[in-house]
Amino acid sequence: MLTSFFGKSNPINYLILGALLAIGYLFTQFALGDLNLTFKSTFSHLFFIIICVLVLLLLDFIVKKNGLTKSNTYTIFFFSCYSLMFPAIFFEHDIIFANFFLLLALRRLMSLRSDRNTSKKILDASLWITLASLFYFWSLLFFIPLWIAVLQKPNFNYKQMLVPFVGFFTVLVLNTAYQLIVNDSFAWLFEWKQNIGFDFTLYNSLAILIPLTLILTLYVWTSFFRFLQIPALPLRERPLFILLMYVSVTTIIIALCAPQKTGAEVLFVLAPFSIINANYIETSRRERQGDTESAEFWFKEFILWVALLLPFIAFL
Instruction: Give domain status of residue 292, yes or no.
Output: yes
Instruction: Give domain status of residue 137, yes or no.
Output: no
* 26: containing domain: 2-93+183-315
- Predicted pLDDT of residue 156: 76
**Rounded distance, CA 90 to CA 55, Å?**
13
Instruction: Give domain status of residue 143, yes or no.
Output: no
**Rounded distance, CA 135 to CA 101, Å?**
10
Sign of the torsion angle spanned by Cα atoms 240, 8, 76, 123:
positive
What are the 10-residue block averages of pLDDT along the chain, 316 residues in total? 86 94 90 74 90 95 90 94 94 95 95 84 96 96 95 82 94 92 82 90 88 93 84 78 94 95 95 94 57 70 91 74
Q: Which has the closest alpha carbon to 44: 110, 96, 112? A: 96
Instruction: Give domain status of residue 212, yes or no.
Output: yes
Instruction: Give domain status of residue 152, yes or no.
Output: no
Instruction: Give domain status of residue 118, yes or no.
Output: no
Q: How many domains does the chain have?
A: 1
Instruction: Give domain status of residue 178, yes or no.
Output: no
- Predicted pLDDT of residue 289: 41
Is residue 255 a contact partner of residue 79, using CB atoms and an 8 Å limit?
Answer: no
Instruction: Give domain status of residue 255, yes or no.
Output: yes
Is residue 130 a contact partner of residue 104, using CB atoms and an 8 Å limit?
Answer: no
Going by the DSSP 8-state scheme, the letter that residue 158 receives in this structure is: G
- Predicted pLDDT of residue 188: 82
* Residue 16 identity: I
